[in-house]
Amino acid sequence: MSKHILILGGGYGGLLSALSAREHFGAAAKITLINRFPTHQIITELHRLAAGNIAEKAVALPLDKLLRGANVDLRIGNVKEIKPDERSVSLDDGGNFTYDALVIALGSETAFFGIPGLQENSFILKSVNDANRLRAHVESRIAEYSKTKNKADATIVVGGGGLTGVELVGEYADMRSELARKYGIDPEEITLYCVEAAPSILPGFPAELVDRATTSLQKRGVNFLTGLPITKMDGTTVELKDGSTFETSTLVWTGGVQGNSVVANCGIEVNRGRAVVNEFLQSASHPDVYVAGDSAVVMGPEGRPYPPTAQLAWQMGELIGYNIFAQLNGGAPASFTPVFSGTLGSLGRKDAIGTIGANKTQLKGLPATLMKEASNMRYLSHINGLFTLAY
């Protein structure tokens, strides 16, 4: 009987694992991919959807179409429990699966760090649904503000000044004039904040690029509150570490990510909720389980974990497809040696920053914007997803 490869998650790591496994096995294995949405979501572009700057179908690609040529069974469902010792997986809807090799690629979850009221009173940006919800909410608040002039309704706060927060606030900066025009108010009446706990936004980025990002966004109306962690969210009141408070109807929390709880609690070896893997991306405790993307923690040569990024998840997925083939056919697995092409962050529609290449060449403005667009196109072309584009 042919072996069964079960892949959990249809994001970057899961989709690429499926495509790679199919390429290596041909028809010699049954491959099933389980995802909670019927779409492969380009989560690196969600900030654009949240601001209405991109069509939903450009960031939500139908998995059945992407997988059709690969002949992978697609199952839509939410993974409830993984039992690695029994080689079984169950879904919320009662579905049950067994496997010969498992790929866990369930991504990460938003970390709220136990900050009182934060989870209950904030928006997150982890899926197409989150982005759509946020967009509708912001519009409805500005519409309300135009009638009541309640300042909180025209105040948008992004909590966290990492790449997610900065890219989102950049979209809001560009969206301000359009929104104001639509609802007959002055753009200056819409207040934008980005609150960052560290002394500056984009911790870890070269100082010159941080300055560029800060200046570019400030010029378009973004107020930065740095060195000031959010300590509480009480209804519509944001409280900062210095005790100051302000009112907002829209707090978007982008303050960090943590391991997926299904993975953290399933009994495989984890480090802070993320699966510990060996050089072949096999679970350190269960060699028939492979882990791709944010669900795994991969240590770099300096003993520090690599950041959880889409480009890493993509590369992990591709290797896993091959390594499962090698494992099930008695071949030699290959080690994971990530290639870093760079990090690029948009600052709205027309500005961006980033570093590219091994020597981290700095890019700003148009070259960075074009490079970010090119890297997105390269990915879509790689997964044969360009036909779904609708800008």
Q: What is the set of active-site residues?
A: 167
The C-alpha atoms of residue 182 and residue 177 are separated, in whole angstroms, by 9
Considering only residues 50-69, where is the footprint of ligand NAD by CB under 6 A? none
For residue 191, what are the contacts with CB-CB under 8 A and spacing of at least 6? 151, 154, 155, 156, 223
Q: Please check whether residue 186 is in contact with residue 149, taking contact to mean a CB–CB distance below 8 angstroms.
A: no
Q: Which residue in 308, 321, 333, 385 binds ligand NAD (CB under 6 A)?
A: 308
The answer to whether 111 and 95 are in contact (CB under 8 A) is no
Task: Return the SS3 of 200.
Answer: coil
Q: Pick between residue 14 and residue 159 the one whose CB is nearest to ligand NAD.
A: 159
Interface with ligand NAD: number of residues (CB under 6 A): 27
| Residue 196 contacts ligand NAD per CB under 6 A | yes
Rounded CA gap, 294 and 12, in Å? 10
10 Å CB burial of residue 30 (0-12, 13-18, 19+) is middle
| Shortest spacing between CB 284 and ligand NAD, in angstroms | 22
- Token digits for 127? 């899926």
Interaction mask 106-135, ligand NAD, x per CB under 6 A: ---------x--------------------
Residues 147-166, one symbol each (x = binds ligand NAD by CB under 6 A, - = not), give ------------xxxxxxx-
d(Cα 30, Cα 154) in Å, to the nearest integer? 52
Q: Does 11 bind ligand NAD (CB under 6 A)?
A: no
Q: Is 307 a binder of ligand NAD (CB under 6 A)?
A: yes
Based on the number of CB atoms within 10 Å of its own CB, is 39 exposed (0-12), middle (13-18) or buried (19 or more)?
Answer: buried
Q: For residues 170 and 321, which CB has a smaller minimum distance to ligand NAD in the complex?
A: 170
Name which of 219 and 241 has its Cβ closer to ligand NAD: 241
| Binding of residue 255 to ligand NAD (CB under 6 A) | yes
Residues 336-375 that bind ligand NAD (CB under 6 A): 343-345
**Alpha carbon distance 376, 42 (integer Å):** 9
256 contributes a contact to ligand NAD by CB under 6 A:
yes
The residues that touch ligand NAD, with contacts defined as CB under 6 A, are 44, 115, 159-165, 167, 195-198, 203, 229-230, 254-257, 307-309, 343-345
